[in-house]
Amino acid sequence: MMKRNLLVIGLATLLGACGFHLRGTGEHSFAIKEIDLQARDSYGETVKQLRTVLEDNDVRVHNGAPYRLDLVKETEQQRAASSTSSTRSAEYELTNKLDYEIHGEKNLLLLKDQIEAQTVFVHDANNLNGSDAESVQLRQELRRDLVQQLSLRLQRLTPAQLEQLQQEAEAKVQAEAEAAAAARRAEQQSAPLQSPIQFPPAR
């Protein structure tokens, strides 16, 4: 319990220092004013919480936006961290990971990354109800942590940066197309010419 409390306090302090606010734009508003938001589970808690954060900070979330944020995959892992002095108690480590991508015009991939939230809790076999309730609460806190981390990253993105990423993505696609075309031409030029079919002279 002590570790969990320290984690929550530390997280709150960190987010406060970064200037993150769930509601109200203040001086830490999003430079991006519109974005499309997609996820495998479009009704999941993560996408719902992120949509709320964006809309509460005056970001218009709609399908026709010039950029699209995809919540590609969210995974949860639990592993035994250590055993306590009691054989009926053990520490477990919870880790949540979220893979996300941002796509621009022509569905070009502009950037992709992963965020992670982690905590440790004690499972007490003598108090299963209490341990299960704490586990559920910690999972909710980890999801909120992921949403807050992703929101902070989106806050740091500007339209100018996204436009630069768009230009770089288009240049990469064009370079790959030109390289493929050059490779095909080289292959055609190096292919051996077939000799014409020789027919025996007529008698």
Q: What is the pLDDT of residues 130-156, one digit of tens each?
A: 556 777 888 899 999 999 999 999 999
Let me know if residue 202 belongs to a domain.
no
Let me know if residue 27 belongs to a domain.
yes
| Residue 1 pLDDT | 44
Averaged pLDDT, 54-78: 95
Residues recorded for the chain: 203
How many structural domains compose the chain? Answer: 1
Averaged pLDDT, 74-85: 78
CATH number of domain containing 78? 3.30.160.150
> Are the C-beta atoms of residues 94 and 142 closer than 8 Å to each other?
yes
| Residue 134 pLDDT | 74
Highest mean pLDDT pick, 21-25, 91-95, 103-107: 103-107
Let me know if residue 69 belongs to a domain.
yes
Let me know if residue 194 belongs to a domain.
no
Between helices 2-18 and 128-156, what is the axis angle to 10°? 20
Let me know if residue 191 belongs to a domain.
no
Q: Report the alpha-carbon distance of residue 11 to residue 30 in Å, rounded.
A: 21
Let me know if residue 101 belongs to a domain.
yes
| Residue 187 pLDDT | 87
Tens-digit pLDDT profile for residues 149-200:
999 999 999 999 999 999 999 999 999 999 999 999 988 888 665 656 666 6
Q: Are strands 34-39 and 60-61 parallel, antiparallel or unpaired?
A: parallel
List the domain range (segments joined by +) for residue 69. Answer: 2-185
61-65, 79-83, 152-156: least confident range: 79-83
pLDDT at 8 over 70: no
